[in-house]
Amino acid sequence: MFYRRFLIGLLFCLICCTSCNDFNRILKSTDNDIKYEVAMDYYDRKDYNHALQLFDLLSNAFRNTPKGEMITYRTAMCYYMTYDYEIASYYFNKFVNTYPFSKDAERAAFMNAYCSYMVSPNVTLDQQNTLTAINHIESYIEHFPDGDSVPRAKELLADLNNKLEEKDYNICILYYRMENYNAAITCFENLLKKYPNTSHREEILSDMAKTYYYYAENSVQEKQKERYEACIERYNTLSYLYPDSPRLKETANIAEKARKKLENLQ
């Protein structure tokens, strides 16, 4: 045992002090136990690139063993520490599926969720990765409801849902600016149903009042009455819920125009 520890230490010192050719000799070595010890030393020294090369060679040799468990977890951590969150997420997820009863299973499940969160793109881009991250976070909370990281996971989940809400709101505004008022109204209505506690309710009520007004203006006469009325209704809701809203004055002017249009339709 002493001789083996001495040999491992000697080999690692050689790797640290000599050329890349010495590392290549370790890569080609048939002694997987020595490779494992050297890989762990690299990891502990935060040399994640060299550690990953050895972990990759050893993953099959130690599959479903305590060493394999350590290799899989530290492989994920190597990618995490080098900011490759997408691949890190893959390996954390692999760890949870392969070693579900490990003492590190909960931590790996959260790290999988967190790495997915980090891959979530800017709100202006496609949000498929955001949906994936939400699924991973909800899965973590479901499987580890008493987990240490549940409070943080809920914060991440709220942030991602806010991002989806912001994305949907921006789409509504885009329809409005394109003067596609029918689509904008449908989008706003769906947004309020999907996010009943939305932080954008004040803006939405104001935007809907304007949208209904211009929708009525571009409608056939038999459809105008109900749309002018919808404009006024959204203004009334806005003034009731948000009496100090900075949008109230502008929206009041739109609602007043709608009232005059209704009088002319009588």
User: Has residue 12 got a pLDDT over 60?
Assistant: no
- Is 198 among the domain residues? yes
Helices (H), the chain: 2-17, 20-28, 32-44, 48-58, 66-81, 85-98, 105-119, 128-143, 150-177, 181-194, 201-217, 221-241, 248-265
CATH at 235: 1.20.58
Domain count, the chain: 1
Task: Tell me the pLDDT tens digit for each residue of 146-191.
Answer: 999 999 999 999 999 999 999 999 999 999 999 999 999 999 999 9
Distance CA(89)–CA(119), nearest Å, equals: 9
Q: Does residue 207 sit within a domain?
A: yes
Q: Which domain holds residue 193?
A: 178-266
Phi/psi of residue 188, nearest 5 degrees = -65, -45
**Residue 29: is it exposed, middle or buried by C-beta count within 10 angstroms (0-12/13-18/19+)?**
middle
Whether the pLDDT of residue 13 is over 90: the answer is no
Q: What is the pLDDT of residues 27-64, one digit of tens each?
A: 777 788 989 999 999 999 999 999 999 999 999 999 88
Which one-letter DSSP state was computed for residue 145? T
pLDDT digits (tens, 9 = 90+) for 198-219: 989 999 999 999 999 999 999 9
**CA–CA separation, 116 and 137 (whole Å):** 8
**Would you say 193 and 174 are in contact if contact means Cβ atoms under 8 Å apart?**
no
The answer to whether residue 3 sits within a structural domain is no
